[in-house]
Amino acid sequence: MEPLATGGLKSGYDPRDYWYTPLGKGAIDWTTGFDIEKLLGFPIASKDQGRSFSCGGQAWSYYAAVLEYFASKSYEERSARHIYSHTHVAPGGGSRGRDNCDFVKTQGVAKEADASSYENGKAPSEAFVTTKPTLSPNALSDIANTKALSYLRIQGDFDMVAQAVADNYGAIILIQGEDNGTWRSSYPQPPYKRQWAHWLYCGKLKTIKGKRYIGVKNSWGDKTGVKGWQWLSEEYFASGAIPEAWTMQWDYTPSKRIVIMKQMIAILSKVIPLQKLLLTYKK
């Protein structure tokens, strides 16, 4: 049963999903941590979804802009509306992780400048943000260059999500919570009753007073946390209130890579003895 008043909907099981496995970049140095804004060299502007259920579009548009930067060294804010208008679930609203991932992979994401997510300069209504934007030929050409992504599902425990953040410039989690007075603070507390679910982009890792935290960028403006950033503890993850997580990479198909590597090893094991035989014959 989905939580009430939710912008984040569970995707359910699909045997075709690829599952994230660490890339072997080494263990995270929690003393140094990880900060996507330090890697970018500038802060990520906060988004504001208002009373809409567009958190999925917001979270994936953060991530799409980050990944585009590391691919092209050009940072351009991407449109939450462009994503959400195609992935929202009618009539109640909200979106699923797999649908958002698949849209970004197969369609790409328009620039915010080409498909504004704001209604008359203000946070959008659900009706506005679910209306598909009209895109110019130049905007469509740009979108075509932003869709070479592959996505993976993550087992939603703290360590796996943290490693995905370090490996892939981020991850996105489905978080369940309640209005317990802490949600807009810098340190949201695990819920006693799960009243809603929300998509969040994860882009920071830090040890605070001896405890490990994952930093998330919310989509409720600068007044949430510190300039939109909040810190989720290991306890939040351990409470079971993070039921789903996703990460994105460039052309990552782990099962195919493993098969290809095994095939190469098998071929080389045959070729090398053959080379030895030919050298012996030449002598």
Give residue 30's region: left, alpha or beta (phi > 0; psi -120 to 50).
alpha
Question: What is the C-alpha separation between 86 and 19, in angstroms, rounded?
Answer: 24
pLDDT of residue 254: 47
pLDDT of residue 266: 54
CB-CB contact of 161 with 171 (8 Å): yes
Q: What is the pLDDT of residues 23-35, one digit of tens each?
A: 666 689 999 999 9
Question: What is the C-alpha separation between 234 and 212, in angstroms, rounded?
Answer: 7
Question: What is the C-alpha separation between 55 and 225, in angstroms, rounded?
Answer: 16
Ordered DSSP codes for 149-215: -EEEEE--SHHHHHHHHHHHT-EEEEEEE--SS-TTSSSPPPPSS--EEEEEEEEEEEEETTEEEEE
Where are the domains positioned within the chain? Answer: 25-252, 253-283
Question: What is the C-alpha separation between 49 and 10, in angstroms, rounded?
Answer: 20
- Measured in whole angstroms, how far is the alpha carbon of residue 126 from the centre of its chain? 22
The token pair that represents 200 in the structure block: 């969040």
CB-CB contact of 224 with 215 (8 Å): no
- Measured in whole angstroms, how far is the alpha carbon of residue 176 from the centre of its chain? 16
pLDDT of residue 24: 61
CB atoms within 10 A of CB 88: 25
pLDDT of residue 90: 87
User: 25-252 is classed in which CATH architecture?
Assistant: Alpha-Beta Complex (3.90)
**CA atoms within 13 Å, Cβ hemisphere of 270:** 5
pLDDT of residue 1: 32
Model-level pTM? Answer: 0.87
* pLDDT tens for each residue of the chain, 283 residues long: 333 458 999 999 999 999 998 866 668 999 999 999 999 999 999 999 999 999 999 999 999 999 999 988 899 999 999 999 999 998 889 999 999 999 999 999 999 999 999 999 999 999 999 999 999 999 998 998 787 678 999 988 999 999 999 999 999 999 999 988 999 999 999 998 888 999 999 999 999 999 999 999 999 999 999 999 999 999 999 999 999 999 997 654 444 444 445 445 555 555 555 455 444 444 4
pLDDT of residue 232: 98
Rg of the chain on CA atoms, in Å: 21
Of 17, 35, 85, 20, nearest to 56 by C-alpha is 85
Ordered DSSP codes for 38-66: HHHTSPPPPPB-TTSSTHHHHHHHHHHHH
CA distances 191 to 10, 76, 102, 155, 218, Å, are 18, 35, 30, 20, 17
Amino acid at 220: W
Look at residue 9 and give its three-state secondary structure. Answer: strand
- Please, what's the largest Cα pairwise distance for the chain? 83
